[in-house]
Amino acid sequence: MAGRTQFGDFLAESGYNPPTMSTTDRPIRILCTVLLLVAASYLLALAEGAGDAAHFLRDGLGARGRAMGSADICDATGFTAPFWNPAPSLQTPSTVVGGGLEQRNEGLFTFSMLGAWHAAASWGAGAVVMTSDLYDVYLVSSGIRVGSASAGVGLKSYRFGVPGDSGSGLGLDLGGRYAIGLGGSTLTLAAVSRDIGWTAIRWGSLETIAVDRVAWVNRIAAALTVPLELGEWTVEVDGEVATRRPPADLETDYWEQVGEMNLSLGMHFRWAGIHVRAGVQRFDLLTPAARFRPTVGLGIVIGSMAVDLALIPSPLGITYLGGFQVRL
């Protein structure tokens, strides 16, 4: 269940395949299509336009992604991966199932999460559920994978509730990933557009309905993974542009009122079964004296099982996250 805006701050290709097209062209075409959709999303946002009704989701879900400073749309492999990017994983085909808990601001809010995804050689699908006393969010994703590229779509169902009232809405996400080999290293590019068209949250009965909006968030990222003797090192940079609501009639200062630009940095070091993660979370590029928001996390992998922990300090108190997953 979830709350109103005032709670928010707290809380393919076509069937046609030309005979002259080589198979190596197909991943590039898929990636370009997704990038064009994301770019169009942002241009339409500027053309049409402060909600941010789902502000509680802006920093992401799960210990892995949060520990990397919310820079996880390229590297996402945890059980919450469908939330970060609905495009199927480019890693070895597999199935992941897991769950987690988040104690935000030293227990001020508690979120529970369950998730699963499956990546085959040519397709992938996943689902994530996040619940709390005020919010419920359900997400399902599906996509295709062609060589070193993948593209996917996600559908979210929001359920918000406060004493005496409730709200709900459906949101649409698009995402894509593309991996490029650089000798022994890998450069992964990714793009995601979340809640396209500012998902409408409708409150109350038909007679007294009110509409709130979820921010339209667009992200583009690059991650470099360098292999080591017993592991690997990944560095990811995510850029985010968001508008919190549609524009009002005759609004002349729309971007100043609702526009956001953030930068997230993440690092993931894996040595044998030990995973160390750290990052800088959604650094505000539009605020001259923006607050530095560091993150840190640790993961332990034993066989097919993994446990992940993360810690994120803030002025309202430390946020603790834990998760457990199994790779089938």
Domains of the chain: 5-327 (2.40.160.40)
Q: SS3 for 206?
A: coil
Residue closest to 319 by CA, chosen among 35, 145, 67: 67
Per-residue confidence (pLDDT) for residue 44, from 0 to 100: 39
How long a stretch of residues is the chain? 328
Per-residue confidence (pLDDT) for residue 77, from 0 to 100: 87
> Strand 149-162 vs strand 123-131: parallel, antiparallel, or unpaired?
unpaired
Per-residue confidence (pLDDT) for residue 38, from 0 to 100: 43
Tens digit of pLDDT at every position of the chain (328 positions): 443 343 344 333 334 344 444 444 555 554 554 445 444 443 433 333 346 888 889 999 999 999 999 999 998 889 999 999 999 987 767 899 999 999 988 777 899 999 999 999 899 999 999 999 889 999 999 999 999 999 999 999 999 987 778 899 999 999 999 999 998 999 999 999 999 999 999 988 655 678 899 999 999 999 999 999 889 999 999 999 999 999 988 889 999 999 999 999 999 999 989 999 999 998 999 988 778 899 999 999 999 999 999 999 988 889 999 999 999 8
Six-digit token pair at 205? Answer: 């009965």
Residue closest to 200 by CA, chosen among 185, 186, 215, 187: 215
Per-residue confidence (pLDDT) for residue 26, from 0 to 100: 55
Six-digit token pair at 283? Answer: 């650094």
Beta strands, E only, 200-292: 200-203, 210-213, 216-227, 231-243, 259-271, 274-284
51: left (phi over 0), alpha (psi -120 to 50) or beta: alpha
Amino acid code (one letter) for 267: M
Six-digit token pair at 159? Answer: 């359920």
